[in-house]
Structure 1
Amino acid sequence: MLLETIELPTDEHYARNLIDGRWVFPAAPYEYEIRNPSDSTVTAVVPLSSRFDVGRAISAAGDALSGPWSELHTRDQLLALLLHRLAEAAPELARLQSVETGLGYDDSLAGIESTLRIARAVLTREVLHPRPTPAGVSGHVLSWGAPFSEMLLNVFPALAAGNTVVVKPSLRGPLSPVAVAFIADQLGFPAGVLNIVQGTGVDVGAALISSTALQALHVRANESTVSRASRAGRRTQVPLRTLTGGGNAAIIYPGLGEDKFAPMASEIADGVRVHNAGGPLGLHTVAVHRDVAKKAIAAILGQLTLFKNRAAPLPTEPIRRRAFDRIDQLDADGGRVLLGGTIPDDIRHRMGWRLPTTVVDLGDATSTAAAKALAHSREPLGPVLTVVQWNTLTDLDRVFDARRHCDGYASIWGDDSSDERTRFGVAAREQGPQSAMYSGLVPAAWTGESAHRTTGEMAS
C-alpha cells in the first residue's frame, strides 16, 4: 500500500547510516557539514563512517540475499513501487538535489525525470529477460555531479538483478542517495537489501574498494579513485565496473539541416549547464565536422551568450581552481578561448564557487595543439566545453581515444545513416537529434549492459 503523504528524510536520517534496516550512528562520532554550493549555507550534517561500519553493512547485505529479496515477484513489486514513489516525489527530490548541487530546479527535475525513464526500462528488461547470473553483494562508490542520477542509475540495475547493495554516496552529494534509501525503507524493503554508509573516500571508499566479500564493485569517480580501485582489484579479484567522470560528447555531421542548428545549440547548452562534475547527464566535448564548424560554433556561442547559461557551481574553491587550471592548460596547449575563461571578482562568484561557462576551440583534430590537449588535458570539471573539428571517422576515433570516453554517450546530430558503429565503447549512435538529458540516453555502464573492463584491463 502506498504511503498517504510524500515524506523525505529529516536531519535525524541524514546524520545516520542505513545498515540492516536500521538508521544508526557510525562507530566513531565524527560529522561533516554539507553546504549548498550556491551560497555556502549549511544544509545538513552527515556522519563520517569507518571500515567497521562498512563491514557491518556488507555482512547485513550478505544475510539479506537468502531472504524475501531472493523471490523474483517480491523484488519486482518493491522496485516498481519504489519507482512509482520516486516519480510522485520528483518535485521534492528535485529541490533537494538543487540544494546539494547548486543545479537549477528545472535542470534538476529534468534530470530526475530522465533518470526515472531509464530505471523503468531497466526494470522492464529484468522482468522480461532476467539474467541467470547468481546474486551477490554489490558495492557502489558514487560521485557528486548529479546525486539522484548517480544513485539510481548505478544502484538500481544491481537491485533489479537480485543483488543486495552497500552504497557509499559522495561526501559532497549524499542527500539524494539517502532520500532514495529512506523511501525504499518506508516502502518495506527487506532489512539489509539497501545499505547506505556515508563518509570519506579514504575511509569508507577504501574499505569497499579493498573488500573481498563483494560480487562486484561499481566505481563512479575521478581517474585517481578509479586507479586506486583498479590496483586493489588485483588483490581482491572483485570485478571492477567503472564509469569515469566526464565522458560525454556531441558529434555534429555535415548533414545537419538548416533548421537543426538552433535546437542543436540549445541542447548542447543544456548539457554544458549541468556539467559541474561530469555527471551522467552533462557534456564537455563537441566534435563538429569542418564543413559546418563555423556555423555550428556560432550557434552554440550565441545560445550560451544569449541566455547567459547560468551553470551549476562547483562545491569548493579548490575544485573550481582545478577546473580553471584545466582551462589554462588547454590554452597553453594551443586551444583558443572563445567564451568565458575568467572568474569575475565579485561576491556572488566567490561564495558560490561559480565558473563562468567557457568554450575552448582546439582546432582541427589532426593538429598538434588538439593532440596535446586531448592527450594531456586534466579531468573535465565545470561548465567548460571543448570544440574539436573533424573530417574523417578516423579523426573521431582520435578525438575520443582517451579512457574517459570509454563509458560515455554521444548525442548525434546530422547523421541519418544506418551505420551502427559504436563510439566510446558503449551505445553512442542515436537516430535523430535528441539530447541525452531529455531522451534518456545514458552510458550502458550505468545499466550493466556493457562488457565491463576487468581490473587488468583497467590497469593497462
Structure 2
Amino acid sequence: MTEHILTVAGVAVDTRHWIGGERVASADTFTDVSPIDGSALGEIARGGPAEAAAAVAAAKAAFPGWAATPRAERARILHAVADGVEKRIEELAIVETTDNGALLRSHRRGVMPRVAHNFRFFADWLLTLDHDDFATRGHTNHVSWDPAGPSVLITPWNAPLMLATWKVAPALAAGNTVVLKPAEWSPLTASLLADIAAEAGLPAGVLNVVQGYGAEIGDALTSHPDVRRISFTGSVPTAQRIAASAAPRLTPLSLELGGKSPLLVFADADLDLAVDLAVEQYDNAGQVCLAATRLLVEESVAEEFTRRFVDKATRLRQGDPRDETTDIGPNIHPRQLEKIDGFVRRALAAGARAVIGGHPKDGQYYAPTLLTEVAQDSEIVQEEVFGPVLTLQTFATEDEAVALANDTRFGLAATLATGDRERAERVGAQLVAGTVWINCFFVRDLQAPFGGSRHSGVGREGGTWSFDFYCDLKNTVTAPKGFKDHG
C-alpha cells in the first residue's frame, strides 16, 4: 500500500487510479515532475485500454442508481464534496502548486475556493432547473432534463482541479456518472478529489479517475461505445483527434480549446487601467487560454502605453511560486518551455523586436516577453504560444482595430479598454469571441455561457447550458383529453 502513496509537501497522495470506488494499480507508471525545480515527485499509475474499459464499465453500472437519485439528494452530496474541499484547501493548494507551478497564494485565495464553489453552484442550480410549461392548441408541453449517461471528462494542466470540477460538478449534478482523465503533467489533485468525493458519500462508480497518456488511455475512453458525453479542454489538434474518435458513435462533444485573444486599447481609455489589464496577461506564466496575448493599441497612445507597460512589467517578480512575493512562476514542463522559446526565436528571426524578455531563464522559467514589429500574418500573431509572451501592434481607426482583432482562426475571448461607452458597445458587438470584457478581465460568473467561437471550441457550458449538454432534453406533450377518471 505505501508504495502507492506519495508525500507531497506533507500531503499523502495515492498514485493509483480510482475505479468503481476502489484504488486500482497499473503495471506501468509514468514519472510526475515538479516544474518548480525539476524534481521527480513520484511514479503515477499509467493506464491504458484495460483501465479505460474498467472505468467506463464502473460508470455504466453506477449510472441507473445515480440518475434515479432525487435531485435534492444529489445536491446534498455535492455540497458535502464542497465541504470536503474547503476543509482541505491548504493541502490542495500546496499539492497543486508543487505539481503544476502556479502561485500558491492564488491557489489558497482564489482557485481552491472556486473549486468548492463549482460544486455548490451546480448543486443549487440543479434545484432551480426548470422550464415553464407552455400550451399548443390546448396541449401541454413539459420540458425535462434527463441524465445522458457515462461522461468522459479530459482536463488540462494549467488549472487542473478548478477546470476539472468545472466539468465534474455539472455532470454529476445532471445525474451522469463520470470518468475523469487529468493531464499527465498535473495529475495529483484529481486523485485527492476522488478521496474527498468518497468521504462525502458519493456512491462507488459515480466518479472514476484514471491517469495516463492521451494516446494510450484517452483514445480508449473517447472511442468507447458506452460513453454518452465527452468534454475536453485543451489544444485544437487533440480536439480534432477526439472528435474523429467520437464521430462513429455521434457522441456529443463539448470542446474548450485555444485562444489568441486581443486586448484593444483606444486613445480614450484610462491608460493606467489598460496597462494593468495588459500586464495581467502574464498571470500563471501566460498559461491561460483566455489570455489577451495580442495587444492592439491606438497609434496616438502607443508610445506612452508601451513606456508604462515596460515600467510595470519589469517590476514583476519571477521565482518560486510558493513564495508570497512571487508574481510569475515556472512553465509546466521542459517541452512547453522549448515550445515557447521556439515561437519567440522564430519571431525574432523574422524581424520582431523584443522590448522586454525574449529568452528563457534558469530552470523552467521564461522571461516575461513583449514583441513588437510583428506582421499580422506571422506565426507569433496567429498561433497560441501558451506562455508569458505578448505581441504589440498599433491601429489608426476603430475599423482597423476590429479587423485586426478578428483576424485569427480563434475566437475565445476579447478585452476592450475605452472611455467611450458607445464605442464599447459598438466594438464589443463586432468582436468574434465567446466572452468580451470591457475595462476588466477574467470576471467570470458560473451562470454565464462559456466557450469559444471558430477554432476556440464547440458548445457552451455554465448555468443551464451545462445541463443542456450533460442531459438529454425531453419535451413531453400531453393532450387535454383521453384520460379515464379513476376517482
TM-score normalised to structure 1 length: 0.82
Q: Who is 2:323 aligned against? A: none
Q: Who is 1:303 aligned against? A: 312
Q: Who is 1:321 aligned against? A: 338
Identity of aligned residues (%): 20
Q: What is the one-letter code of the residue matched to 1:396? A: V
CA drift at 1:116: 4.6
- For residues 62-93 of structure 1, give each alpha carbon's deviation from its aligned partner in whole angstroms, at most 9, with x where no partner exists: 22221145321111111122223323322322
- For residues 283-303 of structure 1, give each alpha carbon's deviation from its aligned partner in whole angstroms, at most 9, with x where no partner exists: 533333444433333332221
Q: Who is 2:417 aligned against? A: 413
Q: Call closer, same or farther: CA 1:288–1:121 in 2, change over 3 Å.
A: farther
Q: What is the one-letter code of the residue matched to 2:153? A: H
User: Within 1, Cα distance between the matches of 2:21 and 2:444?
Assistant: 34
- For residues 266-295 of structure 1, give each alpha carbon's deviation from its aligned partner in whole angstroms, at most 9, with x where no partner exists: 344343131454356x55333334444333
- For residues 29-80 of structure 1, give each alpha carbon's deviation from its aligned partner in whole angstroms, at most 9, with x where no partner exists: 1111211101112223210001111111111112222114532111111112
3-state SS of paired residue (1:66): helix
Which stretch shows the higher mean deviation, 11-20 or 47-56?
11-20
Find out whether 1:447 has 2:462 as its counterpart.
yes
CA drift at 1:189: 0.5
Higher strand share: 2
- For residues 163-203 of structure 1, give each alpha carbon's deviation from its aligned partner in whole angstroms, at most 9, with x where no partner exists: 21111100011112222222111111011111101001111
Q: Call closer, same or farther: CA 1:263–1:171 in 2, change over 3 Å.
A: same
CA drift at 1:319: 2.1
- Contact 2:28/2:46 (8 A) holds in 1: yes
Q: How does 1:359-374 map to 2 (within 5 A)?
A: 359-361=370-372, 369-373=375-379
Q: Who is 2:34 aligned against? A: 36
Q: Who is 1:107 aligned against? A: 106
Which stretch shows the higher mean deviation, 389-398 or 174-183?
389-398
RMSD: 3.2
When Rg is computed on C-alpha atoms for both structures, the one with the higher figure is 2
Q: How does 1:37-436 map to 2 (within 5 A)?
A: 37-70=35-68, 71-109=70-108, 110-114=110-114, 116-117=116-117, 120-129=120-129, 132-135=144-147, 136-257=149-270, 261-279=271-289, 282-310=291-319, 311-344=328-361, 349=362, 352-361=363-372, 369-373=375-379, 376-377=382-383, 379-390=384-395, 391-393=397-399, 395-403=401-409, 405-406=410-411, 408-414=412-418, 416-417=421-422, 419=425, 421=429, 423-430=431-438, 433-436=439-442
Q: Call closer, same or farther: CA 1:230–1:274 in 2, change over 3 Å.
A: same
- For residues 115-165 of structure 1, give each alpha carbon's deviation from its aligned partner in whole angstroms, at most 9, with x where no partner exists: 555554444433322583321211111111111222112322222222211
- Contact 2:230/2:252 (8 A) holds in 1: yes
Q: Call closer, same or farther: CA 1:154–1:388 in 2, change over 3 Å.
A: farther
User: Within 1, Cα distance between the matches of 2:154 and 2:337?
Assistant: 22
Q: What is the one-letter code of the residue matched to 1:371? A: D
Q: Who is 1:3 aligned against? A: none
Which stretch shows the higher mean deviation, 48-57 or 130-139?
130-139
User: Within 1, Cα distance between the matches of 2:230 and 2:10?
Assistant: 29
- For residues 379-408 of structure 1, give each alpha carbon's deviation from its aligned partner in whole angstroms, at most 9, with x where no partner exists: 3222112233343356435434434x33x2
CA drift at 1:19: 0.8
CA drift at 1:423: 4.1
CA drift at 1:10: 9.1
User: Within 2, Cα distance between the matches of 1:172 and 1:269?
Assistant: 26
User: Within 2, Cα distance between the matches of 1:413 and 1:119?
Assistant: 33
| Unaligned stretches of 5+ residues in structure 1 | 1-6, 364-368, 453-460
- Contact 2:60/2:177 (8 A) holds in 1: yes
Which stretch shows the higher mean deviation, 213-222 or 392-401?
392-401
**What number of residue pairs does the alignment pair up?**
424
User: Within 2, Cα distance between the matches of 1:251 and 1:119?
Assistant: 35
- For residues 282-338 of structure 1, give each alpha carbon's deviation from its aligned partner in whole angstroms, at most 9, with x where no partner exists: 553333344443333333222110224553322332321111111123334543321
TM-score normalised to structure 2 length: 0.77
- Contact 1:411/1:436 (8 A) holds in 2: no
Q: Who is 1:24 aligned against? A: 24
Q: Call closer, same or farther: CA 1:398–1:208 in 2, change over 3 Å.
A: farther
- For residues 403-442 of structure 1, give each alpha carbon's deviation from its aligned partner in whole angstroms, at most 9, with x where no partner exists: 4x33x23344336347362744423245xx3331788889
- Contact 1:171/1:200 (8 A) holds in 2: yes
- Contact 2:376/2:382 (8 A) holds in 1: no
User: Within 2, Cα distance between the matches of 1:267 and 1:113?
Assistant: 23
User: Within 1, Cα distance between the matches of 2:87 and 2:441?
Assistant: 24
